[in-house]
Structure 1
Amino acid sequence: MKLIIATIKPFKLDEVREALTAIGVRGMMVTETKGFGAQSGHTEIYRGAEYAVNYVPKIKLEIAVASSMADQVCDTIMQTARTGKIGDGKIFVLDLAHAARVRTGETGEDAL
């Protein structure tokens, strides 16, 4: 099993969710977050005063999948979330040692 953690631009969330559902992903966790990378934030003007925005809003997706699906899920996220501009996001893939469904007690890939 693999845990895929992806950060994407907020306006891409619905499109990514639909694409993942179409390939068989049955669930994910979504968190609104802030961060910075190559973008290093930006400046904005509010009521005539310029100020620095050091963190950019992002969406973090956490998706647990069977190992055999990990590459397909990553490819789908990359293709769907890509705008070609700086700040499109990152994807991390981690080994998932154990998973359990609380309601039924199922474990391993059955719990996904």
Structure 2
Amino acid sequence: MKLITAIVKPFKLDDVREALSAMGIQGLTVTEVKGFGRQKGHTELYRGAEYVVDFLPKVRIEAVISNDALDQAVEAIEEGARAGKIGGGNIFVSEIVEVIHIRTGEMGEDAWNPHFYGGLSTS
């Protein structure tokens, strides 16, 4: 199992969710975050005064994906998040070491429902 973490522009969230939904991924965690990368913020004008906005609003999307659905999920996120401008975001892929279902105490693949959390099988 893999954990995909994608940092994207907020207005691309629905496009990414729809792209993942189309491939059968139903479970996501979404967090509003702020950050900067190469774009390093920008200057804005407010009531006649200029000020620098260092941290820009982003959305962090996380999904647990089966190994065999990983490439398809990454491609779906790329296509959904692509805006063609600087600050489009990043995708990070991490290995899942263990899963524990809090309510039942199940561990490993027994604790993970791939049809809900984003995969087509549990390889």
- TM-score by length of structure 1 reads 0.93
Is 2:73 aligned against 1:73? yes
Return the offset for 1:67: 1.1
Return the offset for 1:93: 0.2
Q: List 4+ stretches of structure 1 deviating above 4 A.
A: none
Structure 2, unpaired ranges of 5+: 114-123
Which residue pairs with 1:47 in the alignment? 47
SS in 1 for 2:101: coil
Return the offset for 1:104: 3.7
CA contact under 8 A between 1:33 and 1:59: conserved in structure 2? Answer: yes
CA contact under 8 A between 1:5 and 1:62: conserved in structure 2? Answer: yes
RMSD of the alignment, in Å? 1.2
Give the Cα–Cα distance (whole angstroms) in 2 for the partners of residues 20 and 101 of structure 1: 23
Percent of pairs identical after alignment?
54
- Kindly tell me the number of residue pairs found equivalent between the two proteins: 112
Is 2:104 aligned against 1:100? no
Deviations 1:54-106 (A, max 9, x none): 01100001111111111111110001110110011000000001112223444
Residues 1-112 of structure 1: pairs in structure 2 closer than 5 A: 1-110=1-110, 111-112=112-113
Give the Cα–Cα distance (whole angstroms) in 1 for the partners of residues 99 and 4 of structure 2: 14
Matched AA of 2:68:
S
Matched AA of 1:102:
I
Structure 1, unpaired ranges of 5+: none
Give the Cα–Cα distance (whole angstroms) in 2 for the partners of residues 47 and 55 of structure 1: 20
Structure 1 residues 6 and 65: CA distance shift in structure 2, 3 A: same
Give the Cα–Cα distance (whole angstroms) in 1 for the partners of residues 69 and 108 of structure 2: 15
